[in-house]
Structure 1
Amino acid sequence: MGVPTAALCLAWALALSCAHPLTPRKPEAAGGGNVHWAEPPSNDTDLTQICGDDVDFDAATLSENGTFLFFRGEEVWEISPRGHPPHARPVAASWPELGGPVQAALRLQDPQDQHSLYLFQGEQVWAYTGGQLRPGYPRRVEDEFPGVPGGVDAAVECHPEECGGETILFFKGDTVFSFDRALRVTKPREWPWPRDGPCSAALRWLGRFYCLRGSRFLRFQPRTGEVPPGYPRDLRDYFIPCPGRGHGNSSWGDAGDPCSETPFQALLSDDTGRAYAFRGGLSFRLDSHRDGHHAWPLRQTWPGLEGEVDAAFAWDGRAHLIQGSQVSIFLLDRGHSPVRGYPRGLQEELGVPSADAAFTCPGSALLYVISGNLLRPVDLTQTPRRAGDAVPLPHEHVDGAMCTSDGIFLFRGPSFHQYPSVAQLLGAQQPAPPQRIATHFFQCPQ
């Protein structure tokens, strides 16, 4: 697509998938998700308490507004993906009904997209919505979650694309309990771990799952408990902005800042509503406003992929990422596993020599490929695939394109142009009014 990109630079937040980054951050080595931090002031007393070798948390979760909450004794640390400095406060200041340390914490979403925070102590659980204790709480854990014993060490939600249904994983000692929210039944899980002791806390962030143990953590697959190579890792290199720690020493500059005006080179949205944006060798999730919009190195989200993505689209549960004259394919429902035999030539795979942008619309097998100011349709059900006749667009050039239930989005520079349908795009005599990408997709201030 030929758009100049800034030197790689990281956007922050914490790990585990809209946030405004924490000033200059640090990139990580290949592997699991993490937050990249600027070094905080060395006299920050809140941080010195959680940056020592004896750091250990009783519970961890995301709050209703996407802030990370780390509980330890009578205090809770807030670490915000929106760039605010981390700070500690008494648990009783926000949840006065508890009257003691939190043993496990959990954020749950209901069908109305409302989030509640569940805090566990011994045999009881408290539920808060909008910061207020819900009527009827506290309740016994076994009454709220039948089959789950009291005194759990950790809990984490798991969604259908990850666990096959709306599920909660509870950890108690060496046992993992899977609670089906629809059926309200609980089953113990047989996992190949924990090998090194139970989880003291658990987190889900941007579709990835983490077990915390002291100052270390594991990333795990929620159906099998499988842990990828390279774990355990140190919390202070990933989740906590401790002075002198973290990975790497170069920054991602504006490319990693969701609120910068740096152009995106490719975007895609699938039939489930998952959406991604690419620029400067980084990948963003667009549909993760509850967890924050964070930059990730391309290889970390899309295994084996390096460099910049020129165009992208999703079809039949697969993401197609185009780089130059080649296309790579990844299985969206299997942790972005790469499809064997790829990358392949773009001409061979799609019947086009190059692409500045590409998009498919929900439920459609018709791909639209944009080169310069021309759009060509490709029927993905045909073999071999061939591009149809070129149709001129009201744009000389676009950086990227995406189609959702809200219509067609064409991206250029810091702006996008929205059209209700393909027909209205092709019938337009002038570009639709420009709108700001950072404001609409990343909730950045005007």
Structure 2
Amino acid sequence: MRSTLEALCLGWVLLALGHSETSSGPGSSWHHLASQPPLNDTETVQRCADEEGFDAVTLDERGTMLFFKGEFVWKGFNGAAEPINATWPEIQGPVDAALRIHHLSHPVAHDNVFLFQGKWVWAYAQGKLRPGYPRLIQEEFKGVPGDLDAAVECHPKECMAETVLFFRGPVVFSYDLATNALKQRSWPAVANCSAAIRWLECYYCFQGIRFVRFNPATGEVPPNYPRDARDYFMRCPGRGHGHATHANATLRAIVDPCSGQPFQALSSDDSGRIYAFRGGQYFRVDSARDGWHSWPLSHTWKGLEGEVDAAFSWEDKLHLIQGSEVTIYRAGPGYSRMEGYPRFLKGELGLVEADAAFTCPHSKDVYIIHGSSMKRVDLQLSPRRPGPGIAIPHDHVDGAVCTTKGVYLFHGASFHHYANVSELLKSSAPAPAQDIAAAYFKCPVVGGHGATTHPPHQA
């Protein structure tokens, strides 16, 4: 039986891998959608050589993927090579390993980027070397040897504790950041990693130019690995899966968070995840640490296709409304569709259609918006029946989210913020419009609306 973490990662197959057979589906590019400057012949050889891989791979504190090889680093999936010491002047020569650490109980170290070379480690916060570094690796991580091959953070929900996995030849060291306990693992499938990374809750070990996805608790590798990193992690001539997306302006607008195109639905849950749905794709709005990426619905919700009209979460179950039907997925390590779904929305909530829906944290009520009317449904009642329609100061909304920061209604490229449901119902006119792309995805301002209110995923 697959472990809990393996079930999670099986549900989070990366977008490019999910489209490995074809390149024609929407969002079939792993790569960022920024313009791609041509690479010179020398750089192409450096990045795409058959016999080589990366020395280290990590995300920085802003969610940019960093690829280290020799004296150079590539920033992002399309960036040109830069000398390592242009960004980290204290480091000369290649690095052995790199990681962005996850250490909530130690805020000074949390989100630091650690670079390893020989017996030494450098720690950078907001791009600046922290005082007292470099330090010996064995002083920073008790008992961990030098001359490492790779390192990767592991979050508590995936490794039971805040942990770092260190790779050196055939040995994997598991280091507990809270207790400093060090354990050795024998994981043949992920031995001899030249680089490792955690990205969007999955773990990858690079072995030269090839890579495997692995379970960070057991070291198990699912079928159909290893795969060639040049098809997924870098731009190489004649390889990859992004050509159709770049060539089709409609698809590009769907998968580009800065396009200004409206989202058909949004949803938040008690764990802090926020999803935005558009054209059969979705974004994890709360994933700034891992960058902004579009994924097909089936990437997380197996069997789900088409467009989502409305969505809401209650008691660890995500309700996805499509037309007159609703499908419920149980949250946990990944999402699993509940038996017997989809079902008709009429039988589930006593309604026949919805433009938007939202629940507030730890509330038993769902609010369904259609046109300029909002109805409340008590989810604890059986059968569920909507209350009377109450007018809201909007003719139409595309989506809605309620968090501890208030209620957010989305329409077109803008959103409107209300402190709570009561304020929304008392308002005679819409709250000031703010730009979704600027506030949520840090894009240049679109349409002249400023981002004056924190979006729900920000502190």
Q: Structure 1: which amino acid aligns with 2:101? A: L
Asked if 1:407 corresponds to 2:406, the answer is: yes
Q: How far apart, CA to CA, are the structure 2 residues paired with 1:191 and 1:348?
A: 50
Change (3 A) 1:202 1:233: same
Whole-Å separation in 2 of the counterparts to 1:190 and 1:293: 35
- Residues 56-101 of structure 1 deviation map (CA, whole Å, 9 limit, x = unaligned): 1111101233222111222222225xxxx51222323333433332
Of 158, 163, 169, 2:165 maps to 169
Which structure would you say has the larger RCO, counting Cα contacts within 8 Å and 6 or more residues apart? Answer: 1
> Corresponding residue for 2:363?
364
Q: Give how far 1:192 is off.
A: 7.0
Aligned to 1:343: 342
SS of corresponding position for 2:63: coil
Report the CA distance between 1:50 and its aligned residue: 0.9
The 3 A distance-change label for structure 1 pair 350 and 209 is: farther
Secondary structure of the 2:358 match is strand
Residue 42 of structure 1: how far off its partner (Å)? 5.6
* Aligned-residue CA RMSD (Å): 2.8
Structure 2 CA distance, aligned partners of 1:396 and 1:293? Answer: 30
1:102 matched to which residue of 2?
95
In structure 2, the CA distance between the partners of 1:28 and 1:49, relative to structure 1 (3 Å rule), is: farther
Deviations 1:204-260 (A, max 9, x none): 222222111122222233333343443322211111022221126422221111111
Aligned pair in 2 of structure 1 residues 335, 423: CA closer, same or farther (>3 Å)?
same
Of residues 195, 198, 201, the one that matches 2:195 is 201
Q: Are the structure 2 counterparts of residues 369 and 98 from structure 1 closer, same or farther at C-alpha, using a change threshold of 3 Å?
A: same
Deviation at 1:394, TM superposition (A): 1.3
8 Å CA contact retained: 1:28, 1:34: no
- Kindly indicate whether residue 66 of structure 2 is the aligned counterpart of residue 66 of structure 1: no
Corresponding position: 1:76 with 2:61: no
Asked if structure 2 preserves the Cα contact closer than 8 Å seen for 1:47 and 1:86, the reply is no
2:27 and 2:255 in contact (8 A); partners too: no
Distance 1:222 1:31, change over 3 A: farther
Query: Could you tell me which residue of structure 1 aligns to residue 454 of structure 2?
Result: none
1:92 to 71, 85, 89: 85
Take 1:29 and 1:281, find their aligned partners in 2: how far apart are those partners? 10
Q: Does 2:43 correspond to 1:49? A: no
Where does 1:393-404 land on structure 2 (aligned, <5 Å)? 393-404=392-403
Q: Cα offset for 1:32?
A: 11
The SS at the match of 2:395 is coil
One-letter code aligned to 2:206: L
Q: 1:73 to 1:192 in 2, by over 3 A?
A: closer
Give 2:226's aligned residue. Answer: 232
Flag the 1:380–1:174 CA change in 2: closer, same or farther, 3 A. Answer: farther
Structure 1: distance between partners of 2:36 and 2:227: 19
Q: Which amino acid aligns with 1:41?
A: P
Please, which runs of 5 or more residues in structure 2 have no aligned partner? 1-12, 16-21, 246-250, 446-459
**Alpha-carbon distance in 2 for matches of 1:314, 1:66:** 27
Distance in structure 2 (CA, Å) of the matches to 1:353 and 1:104: 55
Once residues 100 and 142 of structure 2 are traced to their aligned partners in structure 1, the CA distance between those partners, rounded to angstroms, is 18
| Separation (CA, whole Å) in 2 of partners of 1:132 and 1:198 | 31
Q: Encode CA deviations 1:330-363: one digit per residue, 9 max, x unaligned.
A: 3443123333443233233333222211111112
CA shift for structure 1 position 147 = 4.0
2:265 aligned with 1:272, yes or no?
no
Change (3 A) 1:387 1:34: same
After superposition, where does 1:284-363 map in structure 2 within 5 Å? 284-363=283-362
Secondary structure in 1 aligned to 2:291?
coil
Distance change >3 Å, CA 342–CA 392, structure 1 → 2: same
* Inter-partner Cα distance in structure 2 for 1:355 and 1:107: 41
| Contact 1:33 1:300 (C-alpha < 8 Å) held by counterparts | no
User: What is residue 125 of structure 2 aligned with on the other side?
Assistant: 129
The amino acid across from 2:233 in the alignment is F
State the alpha-carbon separation in 2 of the partners of residues 323 and 191 from structure 1: 43
What one-letter code is carried by the residue in structure 1 that aligns with 2:96?
A: Q
Offset at residue 31 of structure 1 (A): 12
Q: Which moved more, 1:230-239 or 1:304-313?
A: 230-239
- 1:135 Cα deviation from its structure 2 partner: 2.0
Which residue of the partner structure matches residue 451 of structure 2? Answer: none
Alpha carbons of structure 1 residues 32 and 295: separation in structure 2 relative to 1, 3 Å: closer
Secondary structure, counterpart of 1:50 in structure 2: helix
Kept after mapping to 2: 8 A contact 1:32/1:219: no
Give the drift of 1:403: 0.8
Q: Return the structure number with greater helix share.
A: 2
Partner AA of 1:444 in structure 2? C
Decide whether the 8 Å contact of 2:29 with 2:243 is kept in 1: no
Give the partner amino acid of 1:94.
Answer: T
| Residue equivalent to 1:427 | 426
Gaps of at least 5 residues in structure 1 are 1-14, 18-25
Identity %: 56
What SS does structure 2 have at the residue aligned with 1:368?
A: strand
Letter in 2 for 1:156: V
* Contact persistence 2:24–2:244 (CA under 8 A): no
Amino acid at match of 2:303: G
1:27 Cα offset (Å): 5.4
CA contact (8 A) 1:31 1:230 kept: no
Structure 2 Cα separation of the partners of residues 189 and 317 of structure 1: 33
Query: Partners in 1 of 2:349 and 2:189 — Cα distance?
Result: 43
SS of match in other structure, 1:429: coil
2: distance between equivalents of 1:176 and 1:66? 26
Quick one: structure 1 residues 429 and 30, their matched pair in 2 at CA, closer, same or farther if it must change by over 3 Å? Answer: closer
**CA contact under 8 A between 1:57 and 1:71: conserved in structure 2?**
yes
Cα pair distance change 1:275/1:189, threshold 3 Å: farther
For residues 101-130 of structure 1, the C-alpha deviation after alignment (integer angstroms, 9 at most, x for no partner) is 211101125544863111112332221223
- Equivalence for 1:4: none
- The answer to whether the 8 A contact 1:122-1:150 is kept is yes
Q: How many Å separate the matches in 1 of 2:52 and 2:184?
A: 30
